[in-house]
Chains A and B, each alone.
Chain A
Amino acid sequence: MKWYLTALFMLVCFGRALFSELLLSGEAGINLCAFPVFEYTVDRFDSPLNPGNCQDLHDITLDTDFIVKLAGEDEKADFNFWLAVKPYNLAQALFAAAPNYEEAALVESLTWLGPKINDIDVLRASIAWYIGDFLILRVGRQSMLTGYGYGWNPIDFTNPLKDPFDPDQELKGVDALTIRYYLGNIFTVKLAGIYRPALFESGVDYSDLQASLELTGSFPSIEAKLCGFYDYDESEGQDAYVPGLGAGLKIDLAGAGVYGESALLWGSRSNFPDSQTAYSRKANLLFSGILGLEYTFESELSVTLEYFYNGEGYDLDDRRLYRDSLELVGLPTTDYLLMYRSGYFAKHYLLLNIFLPLYSINTDINLSCLYSPDSWAFNIVPRITFNVSGSLSVDLGYIGLFSLEDGQFNEAWFSPVKHVLQLEARYSF
């Protein structure tokens, strides 16, 4: 904690000397969650993922989070430094850090600290050098977001998986050296060397370095991307990243945005159950893709419809084996917890998102519905945002997970929580 505060203080002091413009901004949030259950019993949170409520879930939680953003810029350079203080579910923290499964035993012992820890996270820490008008060199922790999809981005090989229930959530940046070159206003080439040490490792070997290349073409009403990602593993399945090739396209047709992404992965990034006691990564070529349509009506209503084929998802046999494995192990290990990924659990997904800003009453209404036709899971997420002032907004939301057919062992079936009521206040400065 002290190291980060010291670094922030020094950056503020010296930043003013180094950069002609230094900007400090951020957000503070308070999040109240309630988990209504309709049969209020002692085992109300029990599920194969949470036997005996081992994750220590309670009916109500109150969390705070805080992000401070420091940025400086001049004619030829800029820097970004974002610090976030957030409570982390330990399993989520490990997942976000691209866990190394060889350290599972040490990770298990950390659960004794409790299911949540407050952590200071560096979301961004980068410096950019603008060489002429068309070349940008950026080094450090930076945003590597890409793709056109609303809920999913199959061609985003570099970042942790996006949460389709909260696709606008800020993701932690990636440590990289990127070179971005503009070929006129038509093509952009981005080359990145990615530095990603394994959990609990202090550095990487040359063979652990990753690389990505992205070519974007912008034409009237059309934008296209070609992406490639390189990751070398000495042994298969060493980390959660695999080589990939992807392509994306977005076209404007009669006012509607039509888009698609397709990705080929050399193996899976997560484990598949092989039997009741074993799991492994797939080594074969896997395909994932999305197809989407978005349109904004004159009433300001925006509608997005998206289909996602998830080549890394589980079919019914895989989900049944996963259920059997959890029953056998009793207390799920980190590896098994990480095999459960809501929004990526099955092979097929349909997403409908509706957004309506009501400017007359400073309110936004958002509704997301996620349906998996092969696993019969249905999720609904309505949310109302009241923009109280220029700085304060208050959100009222609900998340509902439903299993529409028995025996499918879908993500709703596994989840210890089926209903969530959220009240969130955010202050921006």
Chain B
Amino acid sequence: MKRSRILTALLIVIGSAQMVQAEDALDIVRKADAPFIGSKIYSISEMTVYRSGKARPTMEVESFTMDKNDKDHSLTIYKKPARMKGTAYLMIGDDLWVKFASTGRTRKLSSSAKKNSAGGTDFSYNDMGESSKGMSAKYNVTMENRNARFDGEKCYEISFSPKPGSEGTYEKLVAYISKENYHYLKIDYFEAGANIKTLTFSDYRTVGGRDYPFQYVMESHTKPSKTEVVTSKVEFNSLKVQERYFNTSYLEKIK
């Protein structure tokens, strides 16, 4: 009886300690997600793809994201180069439409297309329409190492596994979040047990009370390619994001 009480108490303590750890990981991820969460986010970025070290023509994209009725909405419009100008991707939940600038036609793509490269970059369509509710919305998180280091900076190493029923997710992610200011420093993406690509963040600046990375690089480990994204403008709760943009008919309007 006494032994069973001791065992029960021990189990409660261990369980509580684990719960505290799990909460910590989730709290940390939520803090790291905070700059990316928002109802209406507008941004302009330049994307440069490097293949075997050589830079391809830089693409300028204009992005609109909105969370509405608990569903992610995102619209990405290519402004440059001239050959791609007017090409646009519209994602509502798991549905994806593409407007081809050269012909003006809009096509709904099957979901099998979403995992593939968006515009020849190292970002997939899924990556481009990443949840405006943050990573914690689609993934369960686990603390792997509370005393990790990345690029000399102290950070938390946290692994992500997809929540049941979540779509557009990777098999596993491993993120490095700085201890000092809860910035995402690096995310490794895993499929079939292999690290297929890595996203690194830098040039954090304060905008609208949020620390937002103005530069990030996605590097592929399956081919000699990386994509650098430099954000020139970002607005949160932006008036530029309008509900009527997230409709297939608006794609026809895009020049």
Q: Which residues of A contact B (CB under 8 A)?
A: 23, 25, 27, 69, 71, 73, 78, 80, 128, 130, 133-134, 136, 143, 145, 148, 168-170, 180, 182, 185, 188, 190, 216, 218, 220-221, 223, 250, 252, 255-257, 294-298, 300, 302, 357, 359-360, 362, 387, 389-393, 428-429
Contacts and interface: CB of A to CB of B under 8 A. Distances in A.
A102 B79 CA distance: 47
Given A180-B249, A182-B249, A360-B51, A296 B109 contact: yes
B244 A296 contact: no
Given A182-B249, A256-B110, A296-B109, A220 B95 contact: yes
Contacts of A302: 113
Interface string B71-98: 0000000001111111000001111000
Given A182-B249, A359-B51, A389 B81 contact: yes
Taking residues whose C-beta sits less than 8 angstroms from the other chain, chain B's interface range is: 35 or more
Contacts of B120: 357, 359
Contact of B116 (A25, A27, A296): A296
Contact of A220 (B82, B94, B246): B94
A308 to B, nearest CB: 17
Interface of B: 49, 51-52, 56-58, 68-69, 80-86, 92-95, 100, 102-106, 108-113, 115-117, 120, 223-225, 242-244, 246-249, 252-253, 255
Nearest to A357: B120
A23 B101 CA distance: 14
Contacts of B115: 298
A133 B85 contact: no
A163 B2 CA distance: 85
Contacts of A387: 83
A387 B82 CA distance: 12
B112 A223 contact: no
Contacts of A221: 94-95, 111
Pick from A250, A296, A393 the residue with the most CB of B within 10 Å. Answer: A296
30 contacts: A25-B85, A69-B255, A71-B255, A133-B242, A133-B244, A145-B106, A168-B102, A168-B105, A182-B244, A182-B247, A188-B249, A216-B248, A220-B93, A252-B110, A252-B111, A255-B111, A255-B112, A256-B112, A257-B108, A296-B110, A297-B112, A298-B116, A359-B51, A360-B52, A360-B223, A360-B225, A387-B83, A390-B81, A391-B83, A393-B83
Contacts of B253: 73, 78, 128
Contacts of A252: 94-95, 110-111
